[in-house]
Structure 1
Amino acid sequence: MPEGFDQAESDAITWIIRMRDPAFSEWDGFTLWLEADPRHADIYDRLSLLDEDAAGLVADGDRQRPLAEPAAVRPIARRSVLGWGMAAAAFAAFGGFWLVGPEPGPELQIAMTESGVRRTVELADGSTILMNGGTRLAYAPDARFARLEQGEALFSVEHDAARPFRVEAAGTELVDMGTAFNVTVNGENLTVAVSEGAVVVAPDAAALRLEAGDGVEITEGVVRRRRVDVADVASWREGRLVYADAPLSAVADDLSRNLGIEVRAAPSVAASSFSGVIRLDQPPARLLPVVGRLTGTEARRQGAGWILTRG
């Protein structure tokens, strides 16, 4: 905790720093923190003005380009302004983060698909990224870098030992060794399956190397390595969803991406596991009751979508 700050102020500063990352996605956690104590919104509001208050502490010539303002979860009225003393203290405690920020990286382009829609992104080096439905991707056409922010994509990468291809997904870095691999991001959970070549997961930490036929699931910080059939990697391209002990919450997410309608698992069944194959060869109204029988649940209409629940 920075000297001179209580826990709530330290937490607020941490949120402000994390929200400077364009990939920040922990809005639910931020909202829960705001609602945990009536003081939190006011503390966050006051500390968020540090950019303005601390601006005079560094000469313009020493500053890099300003960072983008973080997107707001909800409007928070600015009710007060920090004094210069506290602004200077916070600036010193955090190394001038607000004013300096990270070195600029490659310019990224954004690609998005609606549920039920697929898209192929072609990169300058000949690599391709096939995006499944309900997916958001940031990528650098010429810099061999992509960030999968949500959804699912199959990466088919041209090998270049001097310039390895990097993928960021759910806070984890993947380094490609010239391969094809499927990546799924659901919130902070990550699944990777390799059909060709090799991928190194978290090269600066665990450095887990995946060869063809290897997969890994990272769920709530728990890493589980597994074997996969290479023929089943990205089988969604062929209208098949293949599972081995997958939670029904993940099955529902996959169905939503591929069918173009909302499908969710009720809390009572979300953690139940399913092993088997779902063929996407029927319209949702016929397919989802079949999915219910396969998974031991009942598929019911709920508004414009469907829910898997106890029978």
Structure 2
Amino acid sequence: MLAFPDPAMLEQAIAWHLRLKDADEDTWVEFAEWLNADPAHNDAYEAVANRDAYLSSALEKATFPSSDQHEPAPDEDAHAHEPGDGIARRSHWRWGAIAASMAVAGVFAVQMLSNRDTSYAIATAVGETRTVSLADGSEILLNGNTEVILDRNDARLVEIARGEARFAVKHDETDPFTVVAGDQRLVDIGTVFNVVRTDRHLRVGVAEGAVRYQGTARTVELRAGDNLAADGRGKIEISQSPVASIGSWADGELVYDQTPLAQVTDDLYRSTGISLKLPPGMDSRRFSGVIQTNGDRDAVRARLEVLIDAKIVADGARWSVEAR
């Protein structure tokens, strides 16, 4: 059955429901043709009928205008409008039908409003950061090229669609703060944590408190200094790092310890808008060090050349490492 039918289809279903209360054979044939025209028609009609049945007891107790409001002409038969007469029944049915249609339509209207999408997205461009303050007192700091999806009705639920964000969460044991990343979830246990989501993996680092990672096949509790990396195949790696390095991009530093250069280039692009192209085979090379992203690009490039011991050719925001 449809959760909430298309409004136009709902209107048709209500009209048929009212017509069938006093239908002749031709009407039933037309109704059958309407049902056969679209499988969704049957779902819509059943939804209307079910709600009408639910409201029937209330309608039976309702008071409708009496037939006395329609006085007969003097030359009409005196018994033409006596109780039990067909005209009186039709008048009573007409008011009941109007009330029924309004009630059923009202139920659907409330249902449709309650099911409206209350989510909204906040995104940043490459090299841009943005702070989002939530109604519960929590705060999200977005790195560049990042998108999060929030819910107007639930400040404790956030989806990270892409990019990187640092969460400073106001802890509430009765209402845990949850970050969704695809089919994976992060549940706050009172904490500050950093999340990176790309099309290849999810990375989580805890700077304060604890976070419960809930994957498709495994649940892991992470404490301050713990880092988790999960790939698309469900493989999980746990490592440790200094708390000060977790989410350090917010302070203009990218801190690495034996990190593949492919990840470094992703982080550099998010934080600065610089696209760094690596020679074939270099993306898997491990890198340790601190990249200062503050200052002009020439200064960033000079520092990076020293760190990776290679020449970098710059063409605006497109940089490339020269192969040796």
Give yes or no for TM over 0.5: yes
Query: Distance in 2 between the 1:141 and 1:54 partners?
Result: 35
> 1:7-26 residue pairs with structure 2 within 5 A?
none
**Is the Cα contact below 8 Å between 2:166 and 2:194 reproduced in 1?**
yes
Among 232, 243, 247, which residue is 1:230 paired with?
243
**Is the Cα contact below 8 Å between 2:273 and 2:317 reproduced in 1?**
no
Alpha-carbon offset, residue 292 of structure 1: 3.2
Query: Which structure's CA Rg is the greater one?
Result: 2
Q: Does 1:114 align with 2:135?
A: no
Give the number of equivalent residue pairs. 221
Q: Does 1:209 align with 2:194?
A: no
Q: Does 1:276 align with 2:289?
A: yes
Identity, % of aligned pairs? 35
**Is the Cα contact below 8 Å between 2:183 and 2:215 reproduced in 1?**
no
For 2:247, the aligned partner's letter is A
Query: Distance in 2 between the 1:308 and 1:239 partners?
Result: 22
Query: Distance in 2 between the 1:224 and 1:271 partners?
Result: 17
Among 241, 247, 252, which residue is 2:265 paired with?
252
The residue number in structure 2 matching 1:134 is 145
Query: Distance in 2 between the 1:60 and 1:241 partners?
Result: 60
Tell me the alpha carbon deviations over residues 230-273 of structure 1, each in whole angstroms, 9 at most, x when there is no partner: 11111111111101121111111111111133334344211111
For 1:111, the aligned partner's letter is I
Q: Does 1:58 align with 2:71?
A: no
Query: Distance in 2 between the 1:290 and 1:183 partners?
Result: 26
Unaligned segments of structure 2, at least 5 residues: 1-36, 49-113
**Is the Cα contact below 8 Å between 2:192 and 2:207 reproduced in 1?**
yes
SS class of match (2:137): coil
> 1:8-157 residue pairs with structure 2 within 5 A?
55=40, 58-59=43-44, 62=47, 107-143=118-154, 144-157=156-169
User: Which structure's residues are more often helix, by fraction?
Assistant: 2
Q: Does 1:181 align with 2:166?
A: no
For 2:139, the aligned partner's letter is T
Query: Distance in 2 between the 1:284 and 1:269 partners?
Result: 22
**Is the Cα contact below 8 Å between 1:217 and 1:225 reproduced in 2?**
yes
**Change beyond 3 A, Cα 1:153–1:264:** farther
Query: Distance in 2 between the 1:236 and 1:198 partners?
Result: 20
Alpha-carbon offset, residue 172 of structure 1: 1.4
The residue number in structure 2 matching 1:4 is none
Unaligned segments of structure 1, at least 5 residues: 1-51, 64-102
**Is the Cα contact below 8 Å between 1:171 and 1:188 reproduced in 2?**
no
**Is the Cα contact below 8 Å between 1:108 and 1:138 reproduced in 2?**
yes
TM-score computed with the length of structure 1 as normaliser: 0.64
**Is the Cα contact below 8 Å between 2:189 and 2:209 reproduced in 1?**
yes
Superposition RMSD on alpha carbons, in Å? 2.6
Query: Distance in 1 between the 2:120 and 2:218 partners?
Result: 29
Alpha-carbon offset, residue 287 of structure 1: 1.5
Alpha-carbon offset, residue 62 of structure 1: 4.4
Moved more, 126-135 or 168-177: 168-177
The residue number in structure 1 matching 2:206 is 194
**Change beyond 3 A, Cα 1:145–1:268:** same
Query: Distance in 2 between the 1:114 and 1:139 partners?
Result: 18
SS class of match (1:134): coil
Query: Distance in 1 between the 2:116 and 2:158 partners?
Result: 12
**Is the Cα contact below 8 Å between 2:140 and 2:165 reproduced in 1?**
yes
